[in-house]
Amino acid sequence: MLETLSPVPPDPILGVSAAFQKDTSPLKIDLGVGVYKDEAGKTPIPRAVKRAEQELLAAQTTKAYLSPVGHPGFNAQVAELTLGSDLAGRRGELALAQAPGGSGALRLGASLLQLARPGSTVHVSDPTWANHIPLLGGAGLKLATYPYYSAERNALDFEGMIQKLGALPEGDVVLLHACCHNPTGQDLDPTQWAAVAEVLARRRLIPFLDMAYHGLGEDLDRDAASVRLIAKAVPELLIAVSCSKNFGIYRERTGLLAVLCNGSTQAGIVTGHLGRAARTLWSMPPDLGAAIVDRVLSQPELRQDWMVELTHMAQRINGLRSLLADKLSAATDTDFGWIKQQRGMFSRLPLSPEQVARVRDQHHIYMTPDARINVAGVSPNSIEYLATSLATELRR
């Protein structure tokens, strides 16, 4: 039976890491996979996370099942972290389910939408994180795109975006990156978010917000302002939260799906469906990451220490953005100031797939074929080499 299967083409993002590992050049630079890297090029475990984990493991007396919707403490803490201490005024209207990472939360949300309105259309930004397509489409939803980024101008195509959203049919779903857009790093400003919230409410669209980089853009409050604004503007909203990056627990698979419902009765019904849908997908989410996050957020000392490290991560990324923008501008005589305005780990360079391949083969610099770079992979030690190497292609 299995002979019917043909080989899977290499994953565009994971394939870059594999090629980087094989390269023996001492000059090689990895700007591919989307994980945070510190000054030493390592992906660290925050101190507070490590301590919470040690304390939890020492105190744990059972590993019995929890529930299909996961850890109640974690769900409540992450909902507050995202929506604010007043839960955007929507306390009682929330249905929460822990999920295996932000990816699991996206998949669970897609299942919920498919249950509520089979074959609904989800509109994603052009471009978007490649995995959005199979995660949402795999549940049976239809996919479409809205304009988001102009590669010619290296800037947001806000006109195109708002026009398209304003013409969508009532009930369609709109996937939005809450902050730190992947792959472009290009976010909306507060005025633009307000305009989007107004269109979503007026056109009765269902927003699905993807919050994968909370705290890595500006800070925890400013990064979540989009979610809180939209939560006040529309009756129904889905939010997929990932704790992978901001807590440094990528492989623990920790995320939350928060669904804001039209009233508490609906929230109860939706919670029941989330539990049942989770049961058919993964039965129960993994516990350790969620238990760690719950502990970090609920113990003031750990929370404070985590916030210090998170602030350092965001500041480091933004510092590297400035450095890279200045060096590229100097090396090419072109303005790369837009890299400074963007947020989160990613930016997209104006390079064709052929140029990306040449930069890799001739200069040992690795990025995804769409020229997405992980800014956290830039090192002040090799910035001159990086900028002059990239400039050979950027000037063409």
Ligand X SMILES: Cc1ncc(COP(=O)(O)O)c(C=O)c1O
How many CB atoms within 10 Å of residue 244? 23
d(CA 212, CA 166): 26
- The residue with tokens 């795109």 is 145
Q: From 28, 41, 33, select the one nearest 364 (Cα to Cα).
A: 28
Nearer of residues 111 and 244 to ligand X, judged by Cβ: 244
Q: In whole angstroms, how close is the CB of 30 to ligand X at the nearest point?
A: 16
Stretch that binds ligand X, among 60-68, 97-105, 147-155, 355-363 (CB under 6 A): 97-105
| Cα 368 → chain centroid | 17
Residue whose C-beta lies closest to ligand X:
101
Query: What tokens were used for 215?
Result: 């705290």
Nearer of residues 102 and 207 to ligand X, judged by Cβ: 102
> What letters, b where the CB count within 10 A reaches 16 and e where it falls short, cover 83-116?
bbeebbebeebbbbbbbbbbbbbbbbbbbbbbee
Pick from 207, 215, 255, 289 the residue near ligand X by CB under 6 A.
Answer: 255
What backbone phi and psi angles, to 5 degrees, belong to 277?
A: -65, -40
Query: What tokens were used for 31?
Result: 């700007």
Q: Which of 139, 212, 290, 291 is catalytic?
A: 212
Q: Which of residues 170-229 bind ligand X (CB under 6 A)?
A: 177, 182, 210, 212
Q: In whole angstroms, how close is the CB of 25 to ligand X at the nearest point?
A: 27
Pick from 120, 244, 246, 389 the residue near ligand X by CB under 6 A.
Answer: 244
Give 176's strand partners: 209
Reply yes or no on whether 245 is catalytic.
yes
Reply yes or no on whether 142 is catalytic.
no
242 lies in the binding site for ligand X (CB under 6 A): yes
CA-to-CA dists, residue 120 to 109, 143, 290, 371, angstroms: 12, 9, 31, 31
Reply yes or no on whether 187 is catalytic.
no
Torsion sign over Cα 362, 366, 371, 374: negative
Task: State the DSSP string of 207-219.
Answer: EEEEESSTTSSS-
Task: State the DSSP string of 253-301.
Answer: --EEEEEE-SSHHHHHHHHHHHHHHHHHHTSS--SHHHHHHHHHHHSHH
Binding letters toward ligand X, positions 129-168, x by CB under 6 A: x---------------------------------------
Binding letters toward ligand X, positions 32-71, x by CB under 6 A: --x-------------------------------------
Q: Which of 95, 97, 99, 129 is catalytic?
A: 129
Reply yes or no on whether 22 is catalytic.
no
Pick from 75, 77, 82, 103 the residue near ligand X by CB under 6 A.
Answer: 103
Nearer of residues 226 and 244 to ligand X, judged by Cβ: 244
Nearer of residues 93 and 210 to ligand X, judged by Cβ: 210
Nearer of residues 187 and 393 to ligand X, judged by Cβ: 187
Q: Which of 245, 277, 287, 391 is catalytic?
A: 245
Q: In whole angstroms, how close is the CB of 258 to ligand X at the nearest point?
A: 14
Whether 128 and 175 have beta carbons less than 8 Å apart is answered as yes
Q: In whole angstroms, how close is the CB of 335 to ligand X at the nearest point?
A: 27
Burial class (CB in 10 A: 0-12, 13-18, 19+), 3: exposed
Q: In whole angstroms, how close is the CB of 216 to ligand X at the nearest point?
A: 11
Q: In whole angstroms, how close is the CB of 285 to ligand X at the nearest point?
A: 12
Nearer of residues 174 and 331 to ligand X, judged by Cβ: 174
The catalytic residue positions are: 129, 210, 212, 245
Binding residues (CB under 6 A) for ligand X: these are 34, 101-103, 129, 177, 182, 210, 212, 242, 244, 250, 255
